[in-house]
A and B are shown apart, each in its own frame.
Chain A
Amino acid sequence: MEQKPQAPPKRTELHMARSMCWHCQSEITGEYFCEQCVKVQPLSKELDYFTCLGLPRLLNIDLEALESKFYALSRSFHPDFYHNKTESEQAISLGNSALLNIAYRTLKDPVQRAEYLLKLEAGSAKDIRSSPPADLFEEILALQEDLEEYRQAAPERDPAVLEPLKAKLSSDRDRLEQRQREMDTRLPELFNAWDHLQTRAGAAPVDDRLRKERETILKDLRELLSNRTYLRNIITDLVAAMA
């Protein structure tokens, strides 16, 4: 797509209150377009990705619904349909499309979706930062040291030195990959727990027990995702070094 040099969008126009059309100032009742003057409205920076794509804040999502909503919105915001509109509308179309793309990419991937949900919920579940898994760190540091030894020995090409190191590292790699698979089966369990709680909480008044349960799930999720990241990094390093 050709990029024409554009004047920077007029900031004041983009920061208009969301409840009022930036163009005709009438109250907005439509979702992303003003019903009075039919002008496209900027997506609010505060809009969360779930709301933006018309999904409840759950971890198991209907991927087909996500996709069809994404396509529908993409069509209505696409910059190609705005090239003969005003500068402000072009800027809004561009901004909305960018936000929409990020929202879609984030929600489509289960891990990114969960990370995003944690970010959203961090305010309601305080102290979501999990305690550092000290034994995992120790293990990773020890592995990194073995890996360093291997990298240093590799150029010498001495099988007597390399082979035992290689054997150790590849069995470490297998063990870690196994652990990652275990983590990946735990993920859907937590997804279900969260969704179940959300659905239940929808009807019930929020009490301490519910709040506690909620925090536990979020904390477990945080921990699982963090450990998964550490694990993935060391596995990537192992695979790369031994390739």
Chain B
Amino acid sequence: MAYSEKVVDHFNNPRNMGSFKKDEDGVGTGIVGAPECGDVMKLQIKVQNDTIVDAKFKTFGCGSAIASSSLATEWLKGKTVEEAQQIKNTDIVQELNLPPVKIHCSVLAEDAIKAALNDYKKKAEETK
């Protein structure tokens, strides 16, 4: 099955690839994996005044998983923590035109967003 143009674009020109220091102020880290395929995804957000000012990812997996996380970091930037919570895997499926066998990649990206947000909140709670 061929990848959609958007997937290929994100795969060839991944946005926001890289990482922040985990213990840096305002950084939330989410690391998740898909047992179906063994893909591992790390997604990080940097929050200032409740707004996500930057996001980065590192994904070791198939093209769809890379594209899903790349797209997720693009969407996250500029959103408030509350707004980021609303990102659904179905939005990613729609945007990237993912076929049914690749839907779990978008689920992985949503899980990673949630995990990063939770990590950020937990850290914020602790430093209060």
User: Does A pair with B?
Assistant: yes
Indicate if B53 sits at the interface (CB-CB under 8 A). no
Contacts of A232 in B (CB 8 A): 38
Spell out A's residues near B (CB within 8 Å): 130, 132-134, 137-138, 140-141, 144-145, 222, 225-226, 229-230, 232-233, 237
Assess the B40–A229 pair: CB atoms within 8 A. no
- Contact yes or no, A225 B31, CB < 8 A: no
Q: How far is the CA of A232 from the CA of B31 in the complex (A)?
A: 18
What are the residues of chain A within 8 A of B38 when measuring CB–CB? 229-230, 232-233
A-B contact pairs, 17 of them (CB 8 A): A137-B32, A137-B33, A137-B40, A138-B31, A140-B40, A140-B60, A141-B31, A141-B40, A144-B40, A144-B58, A144-B60, A145-B58, A226-B35, A230-B33, A230-B40, A232-B38, A233-B39
Residues from chain B with a CB closer than 8 A to the CB of A138 are: 31
Number of A-B contacts (CB under 8 A): 41
User: SS class of chain B's interface: helix, strand, loop or mixed?
Assistant: strand
- With contacts A140-B60, A141-B58, A141-B60 taken as known, whether A222 is within 8 angstroms of B35 at the C-beta atoms is yes
Query: Does any Cβ of A come within 8 Å of B37's Cβ?
Result: yes
What residues of chain B lie closer than 8 Å to A222, measured between beta carbons?
35
Inter-chain CA distance A46–B114, complex, in Å, is: 35
Residues of A near B35 (CB, < 8 A) are 130, 222, 225-226, 229-230
In the complex, what residues of B have CB within 8 A of residue A137's CB? 31-33, 40, 42
The listed residue (A132, A133, A229) touching B37 by CB distance below 8 A is A229
Minimum CB–CB distance for B127 against chain A, Å: 21
Contact A226 B33 (CB under 8 A): yes
**Shortest Cβ distance from B108 into chain A, in angstroms?**
11
